[in-house]
Structure 1
Amino acid sequence: MESNNTFKIASIYIGTVIGAGFASGQEIMQFFTRYGIHGLYGILVASLLFSLVGSFILWKVYRYQIQSYDQLIEPVLGHTVGKMIEGLLSLLLLSGYCIMLAGSGALFQQQFGLPKLSGILVMSFVTFIIFLFSIRGLAWINMVVVPILFIGIMSMGIWVIFSCGFTLSNEVGSTFNVYTGNWITSALLYVSYNSIGATVVMCSLLPLISSPNAALRGGVLGGMGLGLLAMFLLLPTLILYTDINGVEIPMMAIASKLGSSMQIGYGILLWFAMLTTAIADGFVLIQTIEKHLLGRHIWHCLFFCIAAIPLANIGFKTLVNALYPMFGYMGIGVALLFVFKR
């Protein structure tokens, strides 16, 4: 039973982080591929940090019986400031959910030739059904989807290696990011950037954490899984960097080189990655809503999913450019709160 919960926790951790930016390869390109072979070292550092952060957060959740992120914030910042931060976190969770809906719309439009609204509505409907089952739905969908993502992403990486050979593009590493400086600081920023959603979601996983060992193993397994996935995204982008540099969805561009069926298949994988992140963000926000509003769970879920649709119509790129940097700054603050709590 405990081993099953460990896998559930790790799957939710991975599913929360591996959203559109991760699975598309864009985040890997920005944070690691640009450093060439040194990007491999960056992935190893990030994997270790993900394991440490995940284990530490989950252990804290079990140790102090934390059931929601407000129980983390208010004891440290006080009631007034804590409520302000909770409000901002709720806004960011709503934004994250809307970004995944918008991403689904963009994917349906660009890759499958369907109306953008159809992609938004499909994502909204599927998440609504899963939200009805609360944490059981969150755990089940991640246990099903995360292994599929592993198989798909690793298969793509292996296919590229065998098709193109393990020869890195001579352009890799020629352009360095002046904001991140080097692969070490880039790895640190990457983990911080992704810590906000993971931290907030893991604050809601107490029912799944049966012991301190389950917490530690779940964090380590999740961190190692993220590192392995990142490695199999990094290798194809290193090999084909010259061809995909500047492309909005690098992994989709790589898939198109391997045939139309592979492109469609990876489009489906990318949609699943968006789904896991959308569910994680929405699940926590619905829990927050239910603490303040009376009513049946089904109506809260329905209201939330319908209210998010107009916001998702703003557009994927617009939402990402405007809101993703905020997640990075908030991630640092929330991580520090966990370090200094009690």
Structure 2
Amino acid sequence: MQRRFLRVLQIGFTYMGTVVGAGFATGQEILQFFTRYGYWAVLTIALATALFIWLGGKMMLLAGEIGAKSYEDLNKALFGPAVGRLVSYFMLVVLLGVNAVMLAGAGTIFYENWNLPYQVGLLVTLVACYLMLRRGMNAILTINSIVVPFMLLFTAIVLYDTFTSPSGGRWLELTTDDSALRVWTAPLLYTAFNLAMAQAVLVPLGAGIKDRKAIRLGSLFGGIGIGFMLLAGHIALSSHMPGVQQYEIPMGGIARQLGYGIQFIYILLIFSEIFTTLIADIYGLVLQLQQRVAVPPDVLLLVILVLCYLLSQIGFGPLVKTLYPLFGLFSLGWLALMMLKKTRKRPGSD
């Protein structure tokens, strides 16, 4: 029982750490997909949370059923061999773009909050990523189990501070001029994009865990945690609208008002969350490429890191605003097939 409990925590924290990346932890994704739609965001966040709980677990269960080695195996099971291969090629490009966003977010944190050059932030993150990823999946599980609980704690602190401020109730008052179609499409785009990206780590994670109940409970825990951080971020950002939109890292701007010590720790946690998603996505890319090219993993890792560095020169804000909605749109088809795909119980499983 204790072993299952620890496994559930590990799965949940890894799920949260994989989704809570640069756009999420910094506040950019929450602004773009939820806060901009005013009070409707509470309901759309609830929808996104339900989808994360349901489909995250389903993805891991399917990965275990087919013995997937990488996300390409899952895509072939969803789309068929030929189309699945094409989808995986597209996902390869998407993951490179997303990793560039993560890296750019790390560089922006160094520049906006620690008064260090943007390029220094990129290079420090790349070196740390290379050293960590040489340890494989265990490194991803360990770092998420450390970082995510602290992120949850400080998210609660920001939420408490927001509720005690004069503008703490603005999340119930903000309105939007956008159509109902756009409002309700946003959580589908957001969930589709993040779940499609989470394949990189959730597929090998699910394939390696035989305890189906632990996967379901881990997905429940992880999905609720993601929903809590989404809602807390939305409430905090709403209380500072519209001025908070001027920051490339909006949550960093809010943290400044909590005092230097809290701000430093919170910014460090934002960087850590960016880092956890970056190493998870790059790990998935290396696994996928290993099935295609006879190149040592360390060489593949270096090539991917160099490509991400080159793409990150575009900058964090422009990458999030242009790439995320576009990739979310392409991910809707993947989301629909995940909803329709049935899972089966494996012999001898719980």
Name the residue aligned to 1:50: 52
Q: What corresponds to 2:64 in structure 1? A: 62
Q: 1:27 to 1:179 in 2, by over 3 A?
A: farther
Q: Of the candidates 40, 43, 60, which is equivalent to residue 42 of structure 2?
A: 40
The 3 A distance-change label for structure 1 pair 132 and 180 is farther
Q: Distance between the aligned counterparts of 2:340 and 2:170, measured in 1?
A: 44
1:154-193 pair list within 5 angstroms: 154-162=156-164, 164-165=165-166, 167-169=168-170, 172-178=173-179, 180-182=181-183, 184-193=184-193
Specify the SS of the correspondent of 2:251. Answer: helix
Query: Secondary structure at 1:203's aligned position in 2?
Result: helix
User: AA paired with 2:156?
Assistant: M
CA RMSD of aligned residues (A): 2.5
Counterpart among 126, 129, 148 of residue 128 in structure 2: 126
Do the aligned partners of residues 105 and 339 (structure 1) sit closer, same or farther apart at CA in structure 2, a change above 3 Å counting? same
Secondary structure in structure 2 of the residue aligned to 1:292: coil
Among 8, 11, 32, the residue aligned to 2:10: 8
Matched with 1:209 is 209
Contact 1:92 1:327 (8 Å CA) reproduced: yes
Instruction: Decide whether the 8 Å contact of 1:98 with 1:311 is kept in 2.
Output: yes
Whole-Å separation in 2 of the counterparts to 1:29 and 1:304: 29
2:109 touches 2:249 (CA, 8 Å); kept in 1?
no
Match for residue 275 of structure 1?
275
Q: Does 1:141 align with 2:143?
A: yes
Matched-pair contact (CA < 8 Å) for 1:169–1:242: no
Which runs of structure 2 are paired with 1:34-113 in the superposition (5 Å)?
34-113=36-115
Q: Which moved more, 1:328-337 or 1:242-251?
A: 242-251
Render the CA deviation track for 1:3-34: whole Å, top value 9, x for unaligned: 22222221221111111211122322333334
Change (3 A) 1:47 1:74: closer
Alpha-carbon separation, structure 2, partners of 1:53 and 1:76: 13
More displaced, 290-299 or 53-62? 290-299
- The answer as to whether partners of 1:68 and 1:200 remain within 8 angstroms in 2 is yes
Q: Partner residue of 1:235?
A: 235
Structure 2 unaligned runs (5+)?
343-350
Give the alignment's TM-score, normalised by structure 1: 0.89
- CA offset at residue 318 of structure 1? 3.3
Q: Size of the alignment, in residue pairs?
A: 340
2:313 pairs with 1:321? no
- CA drift of 1:213 comes to 0.8
The amino acid that maps onto 2:329 is Y
Contact (CA 8 Å) 2:39, 2:172: kept in 1 or not?
Answer: no
Post-superposition offset of 1:70: 1.6
**Does the 8 A contact of 2:100 with 2:308 survive in 1?**
yes
Contact 1:34 1:172 in 2 (8 A): no
Question: By how many angstroms is 1:102 displaced?
Answer: 1.4
Gaps of 5+ in 1: none
On the 8 A contact 1:73/1:337 being kept in 2, the answer is no
Match for residue 254 of structure 1? 254
- Aligned-partner Cα distance in 2 for 1:45–1:170: 17
TM-score, structure 2 normalization: 0.87
**CA distance in structure 2 between the partners assigned to 1:106 and 1:179 by the alignment:** 34
Contact 1:32 1:43 in 2 (8 A): yes
Change (3 A) 1:276 1:179: farther
Quickly say closer, same or farther: Cα 1:82–1:48, change in 2 above 3 A.
closer
Gap change, CA 1:246 and 1:174, over 3 Å in 2: farther
Structure 1 residue 39: deviation in Å?
A: 2.7
Structure 1 moving runs of 4+ over 6 Å: none
Residue in structure 2 matched with residue 195 of structure 1 by the alignment:
195
TM-aligned CA deviation for residue 240 of structure 1? 3.1
Q: What amino acid is aligned across from residue 169 of structure 1 in structure 2?
A: R
SS of match in other structure, 2:176: coil
Match status 1:310 vs 2:316: no
Select 2:19's aligned residue among 13, 17, 33: 17
Contact between 2:147 and 2:272, CA under 8 Å: does it hold in 1?
A: yes
CA distance in 2, matches of 1:54, 1:177: 29
Deviations 1:109-134 (A, max 9, x none): 12211111110111111111121111
On the 8 A contact 1:10/1:221 being kept in 2, the answer is yes
Q: Does the C-alpha gap of structure 1 residues 109 and 13 become closer, same or farther in structure 2, counting only changes over 3 Å?
A: same
How far 1:209 sits from its partner (Å)? Answer: 1.8
Is contact 1:76-1:337 (8 Å) kept?
Answer: yes
Secondary structure of the residue that 1:59 maps to in structure 2?
helix
